Structures are given as structure tokens and as C-alpha cells.
Structure 1
Amino acid sequence: MSRLLQTCLLSISLFTAGVAAAEKLTVTELQKGLDHPWAVAFLPDNQGMLITERSGQLRHWQPGKGLSKPVRGVPDVWAERQGGLLDVVLAPDFPQSRRVWLSYTEADERGRAGAVVGVGTLSEDNTQLNGFKPVLRQMPKLSGGANLGSRMAFDRDGMLYITFGDNFQAETAQDLSSLAGKVIRLNADGSIPADNPYIDKPDARGEIWALGVRNPQGIALNPWTQEMWENEHGPRGGDEVNILRKGKNYGWPLATWGEAYGGGKVVGSEGSKAPGTEQPAFWWKVSPALSGMAFYNSARFPQWKNSIFIGALKDKSLIHLTVNGDRVTEKSRLLRERGERIRDVRMGPDGYLYVLTDESDGKLLKVGLAE
């Protein structure tokens, strides 16, 4: 039987790290053969979705029509290690403007890489990205291909939040003259908001909203509080979920629940807590290697009310968390039996979860609860 569009009913019983759960899922393979897909964005009016492939292709997928040829007009990318074509988000006014934001990596003549975000206009037939223009670059370029971050999300006021990793240069996360290790906030047109916390501070980048992040791999707007939440990789252990607030310092590398890769204390760390830094809303002693995240805010599956879903690369699972205000609890780890790295998860307009697997034969999955 073909695995494409195959629906299987899964019964998962999980006992890991003190977490016990049983959730009966339906999982439909909508597409396979994707080249390390990284992000998905839903188009309005049942036009399907856009999918990025890390090697540099932007694809259009639509039910009944499948996967398109690569969309033309996408910028050239530096596709090495963790770099390449990364996130894709639609502008809040997309139905009128058809503007699409992309994040990706580029390298300089030394072979050092940095993240870039830019915007172009998608043609009505979804085949061409016109007039693409870079808006913000990480400078100077510091990365050899690690800790690039580069997730994006809009809030309800049309502000764009961008996560930039520390480029594996931990000290940059506390340096306000650098965009590395920061959360950025821009107006919808790419300009700097006048109320950003460091806009009038000498020698600080006005684009910065928050600092002290390491390798942020997920960002999503909490639909109940309208606050932006972020997740990130710790070093060896200490993966975190953070609630992003104006001007706050999320600690890296001064405060971390992880340890150095060779064991022991991270260089520059004062321990799990440090004065003037925020504690995570949730953290893991053993790193699942977090990726994309989505809040669940649909009536389709009431059992998932007040939930967050986060992909896991190393753990090869979809982590189900429950939320009560600022309190986060891990409930279960789903899809583990598939043995595939999970790169992104989004809640679709139909209330199902849409999941990308980070493989050379990457898949687009539609996940729901058995009804």
C-alpha cells in the first residue's frame, strides 16, 4: 500500500521523563519527497500552503494538486549545516498585498554566515516571488553554520518578531551592539518601532526587543494573552520555553539550566539563575532539540484546548504541553514511533496540526485526534 495519503490510526502510550500519556491520533501523509523542509505557511481561501526546503526551494502545495515546481524569484541561499532557506510567514495584509517574508542564510567571502530576512510579493498564481528585497541582516557574519535561529511571527498589531541565534558565539547574546542572540521587533514595513526598548540607547541596535537567547528554533503568538513565546536549544541540556517581554534578558550565557558540551559549567555562566535575567516558563534537563511551535486554539479537538505543540529533532517526536496562564506542563510526546525528526508544526485553518519532518525524504503530515 502506498504511504502517500495513507491514514493510520495510532495509539500511543508514552512513559518518558516521568510523563505518561495515551492519545489516539490520526496521521495522514499528504506529501513526501521534500528536501529537509523547514517551515510551512497557510495561504488564505483554501489555496494550500507554502513550504520552504532548506536547500533553497520555496514550494506551493495544494490538496488535489500536490507539490509545485520551485517558486521563482527566491533569493540564493547559503545551504550548509543548519543554514539555508528557513522560515516563511505571510504579511498580515497578505490577501491585499500578497507579501511573503522569508528568512535564510548568506555567507561572506570568509565563509562565515549570518541570517537575513526579507520580503517579496507572491504572484496570483503562486508561481513567482516578485521584487524580493532583504530588509535586515545579521552583521557581522559570525556563524560557521550553527545557532542561526531565524524564526518569525507577527503579533495582532502587525509587528514582526524575528529570532536570531548567537552564531555559536555566546558572548554576543549580551552585546546590545550585535543582533546575534536577540529577538528583533519590526514594523510590518520593516522599519524600527519607536517604542522598542533600546531605540534611544547609545551603541545599541534599535531593532532589539529582548536579549540573551541562544539558538531560538520556535516562536508563536499566545492567542489568549497576545504575548509572543519562544523556544530555544540549550547547550547540553537546558532547552527552554520563554515568554518574550519588552527589554527582558533571557540569560544566555549568564544563566542556563544546561552544561558545557564537554560537561561542567558553561563559560561565563553564573549557574541556573543570574541577577537581571528571566527564568524560562519551562525547561528540559535532557535536550529534545526543539524546533517549530504552535499554540492550539481550535474547537476541532476540545481535548487539545490550552495546548502547545513543539517539534523535537533529537527526540524525534511532537511534544504536547499544556498551558495554564504562564504555567507549562509536559503532557506527552507524540509520533515517536515514526522515528523522524520534526522540524515544524502549525495549526491549520481546519483545526488539524500540520507537521514537517526534517529528512532528505521529508514529509508533510496532517495530525488529528481520533473522533
Structure 2
Amino acid sequence: MPLLEKKNDFGRDRHTTQQQPGRMKMSGVGNETRRNNFDQGLGITDSTYGLPSVLGWADAPANGGRLAGLFATCANSDCASGWLHLWRSRSGPIFERGWSCSANCTSMLLQAAIRREMGGRQSETISRRHRVPLGLVMLEQGWITPDQLRQALDAQKNAGQGRLGTWLVQHLGVAEQLVTRALGLQWNCAVLPLDFHDADGLATVLPRLFIEAFGALPLRVAAGQILYLGFEDRLDRILALAVERMSGLRVETGLVRESMFVSAHRQMLQASFPNSELIEASSESALVRVLTKAVERAKPVESRLVRVHDCLWLRMWVRPQVGPLPNTGDVEDVICSLGSS
């Protein structure tokens, strides 16, 4: 389901209220409207953004345009300013490790990134391997009887709603742990524990909207390098890949027991998230304009753009990041609807 359909067509609300931490500001493009992992020891792969090397926060640019200064090089390969940019007092913005010497160059960098992310949108197909039905998995493992399976399926059919696992647990006395283990076998993934969950400390992993809409639950960061991302009954590998590209952390996904997930997910949604703005664009040019305006306004020390299903996610670091995750006030998110065209 497209994200905006789930969120009641956000982009058409022109009313703006005082923004609270973690709340989204909504706007329509028609109204004109950082995450390197800055630790020296961490970074992303060469193919993540098409950038040539892993960079620490203080590293010099490998492709030009990394640090602004008298002899800085604009990251836009089609920059027409030549030597004139030497006289511009401009320390930012930085987009995907590249400094832009003007708003026009920022616009061109963003346009290229948008086309990169949208490139396979129309023809995108998600490879889905055949999954053995949950009931058959549990039957094969000896965790339920044929009679229990038949009763649960009949009850589900008569009610016209509910997941099979829920019927087995709530009405036939099957242990919830067994249902979760069966889902893990079905999705070929681990069942993740939920110990010492720090919702506020993990609120900068991804925007609140994605956590709510896609049923994701950041669990913990291990050794400053691995992020564990939990789901209730099915994995979202597209979201996991987007988080990995944005954060530079390796993302491991798995399932969490339903009762534990529901409680932790509810608590997660109450955490303090970075400020977010939701934008609905009718065309690529309109999207480029509004994102350029956002980047030029924030003058981030780093910013990145990734695609998440039918959305583009722009994250801007307004201050350098220390540690595996940014602080709440150090990043701003812009979530863009790609429209239907």
C-alpha cells in the first residue's frame, strides 16, 4: 500500500502548526514550499552512493567537494562557475560528501540523486520466494495437531479477519513462542530478544512515520556497527536496506514475539524523534526545487537521500555526529511522496 494512502494524504494539508520534537511538518510542493557514520572506524561501501571510498568525518574528499574553503572543489561535475567559486564565502551545504558552491549546483546534485533512486521504480519487482504456509510449518514441526490447524483455519475464515497465529494462540492455547519460531522458519530469519530496549536512544534510526507505517522496531546497536531491526510477523527488507544505506551500519533483521513487539512498538512511537517534514510532489522538477530549498536552508554538514518503497527520505545532519547514531537535535528528515506519475 502506498505510504500516503495509509497516512490520509498528508501532502494536501496546507495548514502548519508549531512543530514539536518528532512531529512532522506537512507541505505541498505546489506551494513552493548527517549521516556519515562520522566515527573514523566506520563507513559505507563504495557502491552505496557511487562514492569512491570510506570517509571518516575529518577525511579529505576523494571526489572533490568535501570540505569548503578557498581551494574547495564543487562536487557538481557540470559546475559552470569555474574559478569564481573561490570568492564565495560558503561552507555548506554538504550532500553525500560533496560540497556545492551554489544553490544551482545543489539542485543538480539532488536531481541526479533523485533520478538514481527513482531509476527502477516503474519496473521494480520484488523477488518473493515461495513460503510454506505457517500452519504447515507448525504441523511439520509437531507444534500443532491437524485438528488444531483445521479449527484455526475455520475460525479465521468465519471471522474474515485475523492472522492464523493469533487464532492459534488466543483460541486454541498454542504457545506464542512456537508461533514466532515458526514465523522465523517461514522467513528464514532469527527470533530476536527484546532486552533493555531504549526507545529514546533509538529514535534517530529512522523517522517515526516509517516505524508506524512499516511496523519496524529498532532494537539495539551492537559494537557500534550492527543495528538490529525487529518486525512482528514479516520482514521488510526494502526498509532495512534503506536504513543501512542511510546509517552506514550493518542492519540485521528478525522477528519479535507479538506480545513483546506490540508493547515495545507502542512505547517506541512515544519517543522523541527528530523533526520531520512530509512533502508531496507532482513532478521531478517540483521535488528538486523543494529539496534544494530544504538543503540550502539547513546548510547541513552532511546529507543523504535514499528511497523507501514509494517515498524518498532525505536526512540532513546539522551538526557532526559522534557515535553510531546521531542525537535527536542533530538531524532533520524530509520524506517525499513520489506521486503517481
TM-score, normalization: structure 2? 0.27
The one of the two structures with greater contact order (alpha-carbon pairs below 8 A, sep at least 6) is 2
TM-score, normalization: structure 1? 0.25
- Between Structure 1 and Structure 2, which shows a larger proportion of strand residues? 1
